[in-house]
Amino acid sequence: MARLSPPPVEVYRGARENRAMFDRIAHRYDLMNRVLTLGLDGRWRRRAVAALGLAPGSLVVDLACGTGMLCNEAQRARLRCVGFDVAAGMLAHSHTSAPLVRADILRLPLADGGADGAVCGFALRNVGDIPGCLRETARVLRPGGRIGLLEVAEPENPILRRGHALYFRRVVPLVGGLLCDRDAYRYLPASASWLPDPAELLAMLRDAGFTAVERRALGGGGAQLLTGTRA
Ligand SMILES: C[S@@+](CC[C@H](N)C(=O)[O-])C[C@H]1O[C@@H](n2cnc3c(N)ncnc32)[C@H](O)[C@@H]1O
């Protein structure tokens, strides 16, 4: 069987270029998410919020909130939510009543231990320093606070894995190019190649100060939900 060529881009572009890319695609971001996840992302976001297991009224931060889709899920679960993102374009195209703040999640403008929970949707691989981001999140969570991180993943089943690679490396850039921005939708799937593997991500969570860390595969393994409790 012919092998797929490696992802077309394998280098992290850096914060400034990343931000400019999200500003460029912001107007179509929500639509592209729905189309490219075949409508599954809404269900995954609900799982991430539910996995926090927090009482109504708890304060949750949405890290790299983009257009605020996770904020909306948190609010539907009767949680209070504040979103943080560096891309002004993404924030400008938000559809949420949650307060959104333009800020770097590596330096959150929040007091130590002030939040009950944190969620992050598909942004870890866009943050240059994942361990730093997890440590910063641990700083703002109270002891017993919960974290729920959604990210892309590779299915373990070899057949699903191959189908997924084909979809991610061929279909996503093609559809993304037709409907939005070819360069961005070549880069975004390729950026999965520098996402640490699941065991490493769980170790990073532990090192950052989380206990009871767990990983659940979603969507046949094409996505993952990582959770933990602030020690
Ligand atoms: C793939 S989008 C995900 C958006 C949203 N979380 C969601 O679930 O749809 C990645 C987001 O991460 C943001 N981002 C990347 N690095 C960041 C950082 N250091 N601080 C804050 N936001 C960041 C980008 O601006 C972009 O909005």
Asked whether residue 220 is domain-assigned, the answer is yes
**Residue 133: is its pLDDT beyond 90?**
yes
State whether the beta carbon of 126 lies less than 6 angstroms from ligand 1: yes
What CATH number does the domain containing 92 carry? 3.40.50.150
State whether the beta carbon of 25 lies less than 6 angstroms from ligand 1: no
State whether the beta carbon of 32 lies less than 6 angstroms from ligand 1: no
State whether the beta carbon of 127 lies less than 6 angstroms from ligand 1: yes
State whether the beta carbon of 65 lies less than 6 angstroms from ligand 1: yes
The residue whose CA is least distant from atom 2 of ligand 1 is: 123
Q: 152-155: which pairs have CB atoms within 8 A and are 24 or more residues apart?
A: 152/122, 152/125, 152/189, 152/192, 152/195, 152/222, 152/223, 152/224, 153/198, 153/217, 153/218, 153/221, 153/222, 153/223, 153/224, 154/192, 154/221, 154/222, 155/217, 155/220, 155/221, 155/222
The reported pLDDT for the residue numbered 91 is 97
Asked whether residue 64 is domain-assigned, the answer is yes
Query: Is the C-alpha dihedral spanning 94, 100, 103, 104 positive or negative?
Result: negative
The reported pLDDT for the residue numbered 2 is 36
State whether the beta carbon of 69 lies less than 6 angstroms from ligand 1: yes
The reported pLDDT for the residue numbered 76 is 98
Amino acid at 161: R
**Residue 226: is its pLDDT beyond 50?**
yes
pLDDT digits (tens, 9 = 90+) for 31-58: 999 999 999 999 999 999 999 999 999 9
Domain span at residue 192 reads 15-230
Q: State the Cα–Cα distance between residues 65 and 28, nearest whole angstrom.
A: 15
The reported pLDDT for the residue numbered 192 is 86
Q: Which atom of ligand 1 sits closest to the CA of residue 133? A: 19
Asked whether residue 8 is domain-assigned, the answer is no
Asked whether residue 6 is domain-assigned, the answer is no
Asked whether residue 35 is domain-assigned, the answer is yes
State whether the beta carbon of 70 lies less than 6 angstroms from ligand 1: yes
Asked whether residue 140 is domain-assigned, the answer is yes
Q: What is the pTM of this model?
A: 0.93
pLDDT digits (tens, 9 = 90+) for 160-209: 999 999 998 899 999 999 999 999 998 888 888 889 999 999 999 999 99
**Residue 11: is its pLDDT beyond 90?**
no
End-to-end Cα separation, the chain, in angstroms:
48
State whether the beta carbon of 41 lies less than 6 angstroms from ligand 1: no
Mean pLDDT of the chain: 93
The reported pLDDT for the residue numbered 4 is 43
Contact 150, 120 (CB under 8 A): yes
Place of tokens 């904020």: 71
- 181 membership: H or E segment, kind and range: none
Range with lowest mean pLDDT among 105-109, 127-131, 147-151, 210-214: 127-131
Asked whether residue 38 is domain-assigned, the answer is yes
Give Cα separations from 70 to 3, 119, 131, 216 (angstroms): 36, 8, 22, 18
Domain count, the chain: 1
- Ligand 1 pocket mutation, candidates 126, 187, 224, 225, criterion most atoms within 8 A of CB: 126
